[in-house]
Amino acid sequence: MAGNEELTGPVPQDLEAAEKLKNEANEYFKRQNYNRAIELYTQAIEKNPTSAVYFANRSISNLRLENFGYALNDASKAIEIDKLYTKAYYRRAAAYMALGKYKFALKDFEYVIKVRPNDLDAKMKYNECNKIVKKIAFEKAISVDKKGVNIADTINLDAMTIEDEYEGPSLEDGKVTLKFVKELMEYYKEQKKLHKKYAYKILIDVKAYFQKQPSLVDIKVPDDKKFTVCGDIHGQFYDLMNIFKLNGLPSDTNPYLFNGDFVDRGPFSVECIFTLFSFKLLYPDHFYMSRGNHETRDMNRVYGFQGEVTSKYTSQMADLFTELYNWLPLAHCINNRVLVMHGGLFSKDDVTLDDIRNVDRNKQPPEDGIMCELLWSDPQPMAGRSPSKRGVGCQFGPDVTAAFLQKNGLDYIIRSHEVKNDGYEVAHDGKCITVFSAPNYCDTMGNLGAFITMNGKELKPKFTSYEAVPHPDVKPMAYAHSMLSMFYQ
């Protein structure tokens, strides 16, 4: 009898309850409370696991939170339930796009236009996606021809003239000075653009510096000195300025580490990265920068940085950034006791600090292994490891953190990579700290930003949270690929 009941599917009361939960989830989604929306869609699915709509709705909520792995699984489940449900294909294609798997996205559109030949929207998305696939194939063909050519070496700074009408900051004898950086920040606040000659010079110089750095940088902080760690900035220039207002400008006596994801999404990524690179050149031994998962070609192509650099400067400069980002260090270790990386820990036990030091980082991150996981992994509350919600990296529990710390003689880890309501979160018995420094992320999340300060002796983290500050009316994702906004409808 029980078997027969199972075959009949959800009872009417459950169907009705599920629909109510879905409608409530839709309201939270509209208010950009995606975590709560996901909880309610999940409850709806538990009541009625036969609805493709519930899975597709949960998929787009996960897309908004950058949980691309979960989004992909939900969209695939929706398609399994209803092969003609077009929206589910759009959701899955968006997840594939976010993961840089454009050919898989294209296949989804091919299927949609096959079953719905008169669907103009699907045809348009197919054509856009096809353009990207062809463009990438073209870029690959060119890059084979240019193998071994460094873009930095092909830039002729002498051929670039400074026009008489340029009134912005100038390098002094080709060098960044404190006067230059202060003037640059004020110039950027007025939404003006640094001259391309100076911009290229900064990129060439900072690339040469990072090339000499190891993949894991050791930082020594004296006992009585302060050190600051900031998380994701994501092109929110005016919030970056607020950090310096609250905590002081970087200097020999006020050192900083910015822990990746300087760019993408926010519309002032160019301003953020040139400010940070200028401080790096000014205080090379007191200003540090880690690579994040958004300092990569695929992310920059989709989430706006490539478009912004091309719009404000040239596509050649966008390629130079890609070349430079390959040399950013992957992690920093403070006083041999605190390890800082953008993403998190590893899918394998027994990884050592020397293993990180030995990573050959001059490349786009692979889809697995130490380099990938340093940029992409996330902590989870339960013990053990799980497949990543993002579709890249892994999720690691408190036991994994404890074992890694013990093996490497560390006190705790600091990572970024995830929006947190207070701008930070302390997890894994105080051994895994997340810091995220972009408040009201994408002008929608309503979160606080935060930074961490500590002194060299105790290395005890002190958290400072802050709200977003006003910025000019340029929308987040203003330079993102047009496909993205189409997917997120």
| Continuous H helices in 379-476 | 398-408
Q: Contact, 125 vs 90, CB < 8 A?
A: yes
Tell me how far apart the alpha carbons of residues 358 and 185 are, in angstroms, rounded to a whole number. 36
Helix, strand, coil % (nearest 5) of the chain? 50, 10, 40
The pair of three-digit structure tokens given for residue 26, joined into one six-digit string: 């839709």
> 373 — phi, psi (to 5°)?
-70, -35
Handedness of CA 432, 437, 440, 443 (dihedral sign): negative
Beta strands in 79-210 (DSSP E): none
Tell me the two tokens of residue 343: 């993403």
Query: How many CB atoms sit inside 10 A of residue 122's CB?
Result: 22
C-alpha–C-alpha distance, residues 68 and 61, integer Å: 10
Determine the Cα–Cα distance for residues 462 and 453; give it in Å rounded to an integer.
5
Nearest residue to 262 (alpha-carbon basis) of 250, 274, 248, 251: 274
Q: Which residues are annotated as catalytic?
A: 294
